Chain A
Amino acid sequence: MRKLALSDEILMQVEKPARYIGNEVNSVVKDKKEIAVRFVMCFPDVYEIGMSHLGIQVLYSMFNAWDDVWCERVYSPWTDLDALMRKHNIPLFGLESQEPVKNADFLGITLQYEMCYTNILQILDLAQIPLLAKDRGEDMPIVIGGGPCSYNPEPIADFFDLFYIGEGETQYRPLLDWYLENKKQGGSRLDFLKGAAKIPGIYVPQFYEEVYNEDGTIKERKKLYEEAPDKILKEIVTDVTDCIYPLKPVVPFIKVTQDRVVLEIQRGCIRGCRFCQAGQIYRPVRERDVDKLKEYAVEMLKNTGHEEISLSSLSSSDYSKLNELLDFLIEDCDQKHINISLPSLRIDAFSLDVMSKVQDVKKSSLTFAPEAGSQRLRDVINKGLTEEVILKGAALAFEGGWTRVKLYFMLGLPTETEEDIKGIGDLSNKIAATFFDTVPKDKRVNGKVQIVTSTSFFIPKPFTPFQWAPMCTKEQFLDKAYQTKKGIMEQLNQKSIKYNWHEADVSVLEGVFARGDRKVARAILEAYKRGCMFDSWSEYFHNDVWLSSFEDCRLDIGFYTTRERADDEIFPWDFLDCGVTREFLLREWKKAQEETVSPNCRSQCQGCGAGRFGVGVCRE
């Protein structure tokens, strides 16, 4: 029987020991004697969050399908175990082998959100791997970063040996082959990194250096190794139907955030909302074949025993075969008592019909994401949702028996005025009024409609048209939230509207990491040393520690957030090519200021640059 890394005594002390024992259905244990490469895949957050991530399941299946590779998983030990591991000097271990991570050849860390950056350091620290790439010896694992945050890897560049830019399915085999080849030749760690830098999509940070102007902006990027590429183009899967899919995803014992089969129906998004990074970096849209998806659904439900299935994509309503797929799922799942959890669909007659078939109308709620309170501002951000469409959708839904509506907005968008903020309350109110107009008194369930209006704070992200935009200060954010609240309180139907807003401190910090340069690494390291981790968990977020860490590292938060950027400023992430050109993004930034919308990929191609891949929607 497998021996666990942790003693019974420790496991009985910690919350949810099942997080650390592995052994889940469909987890893969191989004979290590027959393995050439050991890869540990990490999601730097607690097990329940990490296990819910589709990307890791994809890579886990891909690696383990190769006979010479064994891929394991590891997640951030929760704070209770973290303390015990430090106290007893227990090295971080892979869930499958229960052996130390530091014995692996690779440690891959997925970077899904900026607020996990201190957890990267926690993982390295517990694994007993030096935090800085330059301090790692020959026998240490190669630490790889990937995922959306690697589109600006600079704030964490010092912690990684290399980054994989783009979709993981394409270049891992060549990378591992080169690793084995180099080992055979007796090559060093540095030899490996030099060779790796020549593989498409691979970025080796230690071969570059940022040179700054006096004002702190970037003057140039210097190469420290001549043969390293000047620009690194993201990797992309050309045929999403004919690529690996995790038909046997690992099934956790404990309840996790996504406790269901996930079908990724397409990659990318045709919409081009100007604040959205995913909408740019995953371009172009590539749809998966609907027949293949049906097979996957049947097979995955059988292999997991899950009682729920959900669809995943950035904008499911744009999937061209959505009706066919949903019809199939509704019929198939009904027989098997499987629930379908719908992604947020554009609200219209079709989606309401589907929703009424799979959800309890009385209990479920409708979701609209207008993102901005006025049509003017929605044009600025290129969100093609009009008030008319929202109110029509709401009326239809209220007729169908729904009484709960969720609305999502952003505060602090470029060009935002008091009028736009007022629009949030107005729109919430109009939706409530629509309910009272559409549903006669005697038909009202509890006589009420429930509207939940939520706002988050806008954070400019790299590779979006808004990468040039200044971000608000914490005080401005809070004032905007206050104005929103006031605006809602003044409404006639204010009793039907509940208002939630996001925390401002975390948003400011996220803004720093999103557009930060290499200097920011110092502050992250400092904050970690002072005890910061699990920053995305509000109970563990210590803003004061962060502020003092930045101060002591002589870094100005405002430089990264509120500063206005010139059209030709060199950004820390400019050496990466996400497919979409800087010219296109700048064009969109100008159009935003002129309040002009851009049509989506299907109505009219905007020549964003992703057409060069010659796949998906660009070829339709």
Chain B
Amino acid sequence: MKIRIKFAKYGTMKFIGHLDMMRFFQKAIRRAGIDIKYSEGFSPHQIMSFAAPLGVGLESTGEYLDIEVNSMKNLYAEDLLRVNDDLHLDSQDKRQKIMTVGEMKDGLNRAMVEGVEVISVGVLPDTVKNAMASVAAASYRLHCKEGAFGIADLEQTVRDFYAQETIPYTKETKKSVIELDLKQGIYEITTEKIEVNPKFLKPIEYVECAEETELTDIPEQLEDKAMTTAIRMIVNASSSGNIKPSMVFEKLCEFACVEIPASAYQVTRLETYTDLAKEGETHQFVPLAACCLDTGN
């Protein structure tokens, strides 16, 4: 049986890289007593597929991984009977022998740390492609960590930026230089007001190259919270045409004639999508979790 797990990653956990997150989940699944399936061979590994790797420093509310399980048994339910009472087992361990998906979610959440939260667990139809192969797009939000971006009329700038015919981008890797047109892979880009920590009100200083710079997006302070303008986008996240939000932001800054260091803004992946449309049809993006039969929540 295939199970799809959706989770959020935030706070200090944004510094844990993709490979380490995989290891983290392998161990968490063991701690939760999930009867995960293993591959054959001399050193079997858990059958597990992550949707799209999340870069170090990014937060997310829409991460996915698929696992395969042999059964919904709680492997530790039996073990517990063998272990002596004087080990002071936590009451959480007196669990059911067979888990529902909801209990699996709770069990996983007990095995998490601050900064990773399992949002949903669902059963996948056997016909669905694995998480990695399913990914078509992802939505992101970019906001300034302290204060505002300092881009004059951000809303209009973003609109003008997206209205360009093409958005050429030169991607340099160690091996090659590739010319891309980002426009093809940006499905949507807008701005939105979000709440931020009122402690961070001062706009940061940027190297400006625009002639007139009126900071129109300074956070406005409401009683105990503050609002700031964030950028929101949906971009291609498939293995063939993946676009990093930082690439789009870099071009936007260039367009607005500002320089903003990467450490000044926070990127959050909001959701990961698959595309239900057939070849040639217009995209029909739905969250990966929507493929599940039973989410139990």
Contacts and interface: CB of A to CB of B under 8 A. Distances in A.
Q: Do A and B bind each other?
A: yes
Given A302-B76, A305-B27, A339-B43, A17 B83 contact: no
A371 B97 CA distance: 53
Contacts of A247: 87
Interface string B15-50: 111001001101111110100001000111010000
Interface stretch (A30-38, A200-208, A248-256): A248-256
Contacts of A4: 12
Interface stretch (A7-15, A125-133, A136-144, A163-171): A7-15
A298 interface: yes
A168 B56 CA distance: 39
Interface stretch (B107-115, B175-183, B269-277): B107-115
A305 B28 contact: yes
Nearest to B13: A23
A253 B76 contact: no
Most buried by B among A8, A251, A302, A304: A302
A336 interface: yes
Given A305-B29, A307-B30, A337-B44, A298 B113 contact: no
B248 to A, nearest CB: 19
Most buried by A among B15, B30, B44: B15
Contacts, number: 84
Nearest to B28: A305
Interface string A242-281: 0000010001011100000000000000000000000000
A295 B83 contact: yes
Contact of A24 (B44, B84, B113): B113
Given A9-B263, A305-B29, A253 B16 contact: yes
A173 interface: no
Given A23-B115, A295-B87, A360-B42, A12 B12 contact: no
Interface of A: 1-2, 4, 7-9, 11-12, 17-18, 21-25, 247, 251, 253-255, 295, 298-299, 301-307, 336-337, 339, 360
24 contacts: A1-B12, A1-B114, A2-B12, A4-B12, A8-B145, A17-B15, A17-B56, A18-B20, A22-B12, A23-B113, A23-B114, A25-B27, A253-B16, A295-B84, A301-B30, A302-B30, A302-B33, A304-B27, A305-B27, A306-B27, A307-B27, A336-B75, A337-B44, A360-B43
Interface of B: 11-13, 15-17, 20, 23-24, 26-31, 33, 38, 42-44, 46, 56-57, 75-76, 79, 82-84, 87, 111, 113-115, 145, 262-263
Given A12-B262, A255-B23, 18 more contacts: A7-B263, A9-B263, A11-B15, A12-B57, A12-B263, A18-B17, A21-B15, A23-B113, A253-B16, A253-B23, A253-B24, A302-B30, A302-B76, A304-B31, A305-B26, A305-B28, A305-B31, A336-B75
